[in-house]
Amino acid sequence: MISDRLQKARDYEANTHISLRERPAFHITPTAGWMNDPNGFSPYQGEYHLFYQYYPYSTSWNDMHWGHVKTQDFITWQRLPAALAPDTDYDQAGCFSGSAIQLLDGRQLLLYTGVAPASPQQNVQAQCAAIGNGVDYEKLSGNPVISHDHLPQGCSKYDFRDPKIWQEPDGTYRAVAAAFTQQDSGAVLLFQSPDAIHWEYACTLDASHNEAGGMWECPDFFPLDGKQVLMVSPMDMYPDGPGIHPGNNAVVLLGSWNPETMEFSRESLQAIDCGLDFYAPQTLQASDGRRIMIGWMQSWQSADAKPQGFPWFGQMTLPRELSLRQGRLFQCPVRELENYRGPAVVHKNVSVTASTALPEIQGRVIDMTLTLRPGQDCRWFRLYLAEGDGFATTLLWRPEEGSMEIDRTASGLPRDIANIRRFPVQAQDGLLKLRLILDRFSLELFVNDGQQAASAVLYTPQSAQGIRFEARGEMTMDVEKYGLIFPEEEKE
Ligand code: FRU
């Protein structure tokens, strides 16, 4: 049964027409209105589904629905009708973030946070389930399936959300969820179930202890290259550690997991993305074994700094392949992106001087790799992207200091929000490799094959297409650039 509220959202979607060129070419944006966190990123019946926090009727956050898309290759997505609307007494204040899984009988289960008013001032949060066929879903009559009765002592029913489900090889279902305790601030709880419907609390995996931010939102928990990763998005962090900025961050806690004793031992905490816009990432395991992550390419702190006149707001990052190398999280754009490359434009051994532009090196929908070789006297190297009409986004590398600065001050947002971030990068064997993915309204940077990533949205006019290089001291560079080509857009 489709409720009136869900039908209304679906009708609204059907009457919304946004042309392909008003959107990024391959980054996901909402079918209409507002989008935040990725939800339910998971394989289903041979494809990959992605849901998202969604308010179709305006470009601001409001009563949360779930939007829905699916893909076969992580680059080209098909839109599906809205999957969930806040239409029951236990979720009337919002269907918050959650996850999805294919059940053994072939149906798809969504596990999400139902937000319900407890008083005029406060909402309570509990975990609810809906089961469907990949398009239409029915909420379970027994909802919530993980209620406040399941919470260990000291955990608040007002902050209990964002369940992420998976199945163990022995068939047991497990889920992590974000919780809040007065003593310890954010914590991640582990639950288990024989059937994904009847749940029990198993243990607390880790907690902030007021040291790594307040509430930890959107947890994910998975093995990666011999270690165990607990991924969380802490609110209210202090800038303590490389790549960590004040406010909301997304981090990985790397450690080991002993399923016998149910103990997770944290060994390190690392920032996932050192740029300006990245939050609430979620992962899946692809059929070929790759662990793939997608994040919301936005920050809550700047979510009110909207571009003028856009019919949509909020984008996802490119899906990224994760790996661990030298004890660090590495992330690279999914390899399928390379299937969309046009002909290569290559310039080798370019000596960069005061201001250097190169033939055919420009554009806003591109995949470009720079290999930089600084001479002894190179003080800095600057790259101007999306330059024109007084706009530009710059990257500034200081080889001796080992620092990279991303600056989008002149990138079209008329609010005094954070526009600059600086983070450590190191040349390796005298080389620094920068891979830059531009997609109309964003830039994603991957340093040294994924050692660091940095994302930023850019809402400048598309006529700002320029790319330019500048250096102080000697700098030699190779450039390999591809336009990215999407035949659907050509047809429109
Ligand atoms: C993270 C978050 C989640 C919550 C959702 C609400 O961005 O705050 O914790 O479920 O957004 O839209």
**Distance (Å, rounded) from C-alpha 358 to C-alpha 130?**
54
Mean pLDDT of the chain: 96
Q: Is 491 left (phi over 0), alpha (psi -120 to 50) or beta?
A: alpha
Question: What distances in angstroms separate CA 108 from CA 42, 111, 297, one per listed residue?
Answer: 10, 10, 26
The finding on whether 37 has its CB within 6 A of some atom of ligand 1 is: yes
Could you tell me the distance, in angstroms and rounded to a whole number, from the CA of residue 158 to the centre of ligand 1?
Answer: 13
Using only the alpha carbons of the chain, give its radius of gyration. Answer: 22
Q: How far is the CA of 471 from the centre of ligand 1 (A)?
A: 42
Phi, psi of 64 (to 5 degrees): -75, 130
- Distance from C-alpha of 218 to C-alpha of 235, rounded to nearest angstrom: 11
At 412, is the pLDDT very low, low, confident or very high (cuts 50, 70, 90)?
Answer: confident
pLDDT of 450 higher than 90: yes
SS3 364: coil
Beta strands in 326-431 (DSSP E): 328-333, 341-351, 365-374, 380-388, 391-398, 403-410, 420-424
Confidence of residue 414 (pLDDT cuts 50, 70, 90): confident
Token duo for residue 224: 């990666």
Separation CA 396–CA 384 (nearest Å): 9
Angle at 168 between CA 166 and CA 171, to 5 degrees: 105
97 lines ligand 1 (CB under 6 A): yes
Compute the distance from residue 187 Cα to the ligand 1 centre, in Å. 15
Q: Using an 8 Å Cβ cutoff, are 216 and 208 in contact?
A: yes
Q: How many CA atoms lie within 13 A of 129 on its CB side?
A: 23
Residue-wise pLDDT tens digits, 348-359: 999 998 899 999
Is the minimum distance from the CB of 442 to ligand 1 under 6 angstroms?
Answer: no
Q: Which two tokens stand for residue 338?
A: 């390379």
CB 217 near ligand 1, within 6 Å: yes
Q: Which of 39, 51, 53, 158 to mutate to test the pocket of ligand 1 (most atoms within 8 A of CB)?
A: 53
For the full predicted model, state whether its pTM sits above 0.85: yes
Q: Do residues 101 and 28 lie in contact, with contact meaning Cβ atoms separated by under 8 Å?
A: no
pLDDT band at 269 (very low <50, low <70, confident <90, very high): very high
Nearest ligand 1 atom to alpha carbon 296: 7
Cβ of 53 closer than 6 Å to ligand 1, yes or no, is yes
Whether the Cβ atoms of residue 121 and residue 140 lie closer than 8 Å to each other: no
Q: What is the pLDDT of residues 316-330, one digit of tens each?
A: 999 999 999 999 999
Query: Which residues contact residue 429 at a Cβ distance below 8 angstroms, ignoring those fewer than 6 apart?
Result: none
Task: Mark out the alpha helices in 112-250 (DSSP H runs).
Answer: none
> In a mutational test of the pocket of ligand 1, which residue from 66, 97, 317 has the highest number of ligand atoms less than 8 Å from its CB?
97
| DSSP-assigned letter for residue 362 | B
356-409 residue pLDDT tens:
999 999 999 999 999 999 999 999 999 999 999 999 999 999 999 999 999 999
Six token digits for residue 45 = 């019946």
Q: Evaluate: CB of 36 within 6 angstroms of ligand 1.
A: yes
User: Looking at residues 128-150, what average pLDDT do you find?
Assistant: 97
Instruction: From 199, 5, 193, 200, select the one nearest 84 (Cα to Cα).
Output: 5
User: Contact 322/224 with Cβ under 8 angstroms?
Assistant: yes
Report the distance separating Cα 454 and Cα 406, nearest Å: 8
Q: Which atom of ligand 1 is nearest to the CA of 98?
A: 10
Report the pLDDT value the prediction gives residue 173, as an integer from 0 to 100.
98
Tell me, in angstroms, the distance from the centre of ligand 1 to residue 119's CA: 20
Residue with the nearest Cα to atom 6 of ligand 1? 96
Q: What are phi and psi of 302, to 5 degrees?
A: -110, 15
Spatial distance between the Cα atoms of 302 and 459, rounded to a whole number of angstroms: 13
Q: How far, in Å, from the CA of 431 to the mean position of ligand 1?
A: 40
CA of 301 to the centre of ligand 1 (A): 13
- Cβ 91 under 6 angstroms from ligand 1: no
Cβ(396)–Cβ(389) below 8 Å: no
One-letter amino acid of 405: E
The confidence score (pLDDT) of residue 308 equals 86
Q: Which ligand 1 atom sits nearest the alpha carbon of residue 248?
A: 7
**What are the C-alpha distances in Å from 101 to residues 42, 43, 202, 427?**
6, 7, 20, 41
Q: CA 403 to CA 1: how far, in whole Å?
A: 56
Residues identified as active-site: 37
Pairwise CA distance, residues 187 & 155, whole Å: 9
Q: Which residues are CB-neighbours of 169 under 8 A, at least 6 positions away?
A: none
